[in-house]
């Protein structure tokens, strides 16, 4: 697999046995295959192969210092890659399979390659809950490195059409299994020091994690060096400028609403008319993309509560507001 961007035909595969067998064949040969998880679509490659992983960075135009999550079949497979503290094991028991990623010290004999870890002595591990993701990992018998299947800096894809928009002709195949359920990425918790630390809010709320730990997580600081190197301020960037906490939609703006706060209805999409944060998370990236296509200079965003999944939604919106593409 060439890291160079030679144009290639991207196969469109179904989530059936034939599609999965072809996807597994491509992955085992060092290829790149986008597949659904319960959070967002991932761009998968053999996590044990630096060459295959290099293909991911190239296809996404991703900065090479940004480490990737290795996706595994189960807790036992994860234990071969990372060292679990008792608290990490408790979190894995409670939330795997599911939208939780654990950053752990690299286990002796771990096979996740250096490039996937961006040279770090730690490794990010996740056991996804989506049937197609599970079947694919089982068929390859490999840990699969998989960042979100978008060009670096674009919003994460929640269906196969989004993946095609960014990566058609740059990867070997896409497994199309419809829309994803959760809609925001996994929650990332580092269990490296004394207190587990929230590196990225996501599909599992801070409260749910703290309930299992029986104590508060150490907060990820917005200031100083990011502990999750991918948590750069500019990670999520639509073309239009975002105006957060807007009271109304102004001339020249599209609107991203929550629970019917905007009165004028032209070019407005409501993340959840009934005010459900889980529904809002699932709609977030698709609606941002749709509003960005309206070609307005800005997108006014209504205030969104910061409770539960609202923390992850607000985090993504702040990044999108800061990190606009030119």
Binding partner of 130, given ligand TXA, Mg ion, none, CB within 5-8 angstroms per partner class: none
> What's the sign of the alpha-carbon dihedral 202, 260, 276, 39?
negative
Return the SS3 of 103. Answer: strand
> What's the sign of the alpha-carbon dihedral 138, 90, 148, 164?
positive
Binding partner of 129, given Mg ion, ligand TXA, none, CB within 5-8 angstroms per partner class: none
205 binds ligand TXA (CB under 6 A): no
Name which position in 20, 34, 47, 146 contacts ligand TXA (CB under 6 A).
Answer: 146
Binding mask 106-135 for ligand TXA (x = CB under 6 A): -----------x--x-xxx-x---------
Q: Give me 109's structure tokens.
A: 């004999």
| Options 98-106, 239-247, 284-292, 305-313: segment touching ligand TXA (CB under 6 A) | 98-106
148 binds Mg ion (CB under 5 A): yes
User: Alpha-carbon distance 98 to 275, whole Å?
Assistant: 24
Interaction residues for ligand TXA, span 208-227 (CB under 6 A): 227
**Residue 293 CB: number of other CB atoms within 10 A?**
12
Looking up tokens 């150490």 gives 218
68 binds ligand TXA (CB under 6 A): yes
81 binds Mg ion (CB under 5 A): no
Binding partner of 228, given ligand TXA, Mg ion, none, CB within 5-8 angstroms per partner class: ligand TXA
Q: What is the DSSP string of 40-96?
A: SEEEEEETT-HHHHHHHHHHHT--TT---EEE-SSHHHHHTTBPPPHHHHHHHHHH-
Interaction residues for ligand TXA, span 244-263 (CB under 6 A): none
Query: 312: burial class by Cβ within 10 Å (0-12, 13-18, 19+)?
Result: buried
State in angstroms the smallest separation of the CB of 4 from ligand TXA. Answer: 22
Name which position in 73, 176, 185, 253 contacts ligand TXA (CB under 6 A).
Answer: 185
Q: Is the CB of residue 80 less than 8 Å from the CB of residue 109?
A: yes
39 binds ligand TXA (CB under 6 A): yes
Give me the helix-helix angle, 277-292 and 310-322, nearest 10°.
20
Residues that bind ligand TXA in the complex, under the rule CB under 6 A = 37, 39-40, 42, 66-69, 99, 101, 103, 117, 120, 122-124, 126, 146-148, 185-186, 188, 199-200, 227-231
Residues that bind Mg ion in the complex, under the rule CB under 5 A = 148
């Amino acid at each position: 697999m060439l890291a160079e961007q030679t144009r290639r035909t991207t196969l469109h595969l179904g989530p059936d046995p034939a599609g999965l067998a072809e996807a597994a064949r491509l992955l085992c040969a060092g290829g790149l295959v986008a597949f659904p998880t319960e959070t967002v679509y991932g761009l998968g490659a053999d996590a044990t192969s630096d060459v295959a992983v290099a293909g991911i960075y190239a296809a996404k135009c991703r900065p090479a210092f940004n480490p990737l999550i290795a996706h595994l079949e189960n807790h036992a497979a994860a234990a071969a890659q990372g060292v679990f503290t008792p608290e990490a094991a408790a979190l894995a028991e409670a939330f795997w399979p599911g939208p939780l990623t654990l950053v752990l010290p690299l286990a002796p004999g771990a096979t996740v390659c250096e490039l996937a870890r961006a040279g770090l002595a730690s490794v990010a591990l996740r056991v996804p809950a989506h049937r197609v993701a599970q079947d694919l990992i089982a068929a390859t018998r490999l840990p699969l490195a998989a960042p979100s299947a978008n060009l670096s800096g674009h919003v994460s894809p929640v269906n196969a059409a989004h993946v095609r928009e960014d990566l058609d002709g740059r990867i070997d195949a896409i497994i199309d299994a419809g829309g994803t359920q959760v809609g925001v990425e996994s929650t990332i918790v580092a269990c490296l020091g004394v207190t587990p630390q929230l590196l990225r809010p996501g599909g599992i709320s801070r409260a749910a994690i703290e309930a299992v730990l029986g104590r508060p997580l150490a907060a990820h600081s917005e200031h100083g060096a990011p502990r999750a190197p991918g948590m750069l301020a500019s990670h999520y960037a639509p073309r239009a400028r975002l105006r957060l906490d807007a009271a109304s939609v102004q001339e020249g703006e599209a609107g991203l609403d929550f629970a019917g706060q905007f009165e004028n209805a032209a070019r407005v999409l409501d993340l959840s008319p009934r005010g459900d944060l889980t529904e809002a998370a699932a709609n977030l990236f698709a609606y941002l993309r749709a509003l960005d296509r309206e070609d307005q200079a800005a997108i006014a965003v209504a205030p969104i509560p910061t409770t539960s999944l609202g923390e992850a939604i607000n985090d993504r919106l702040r990044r999108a507001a800061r990190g606009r593409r030119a």
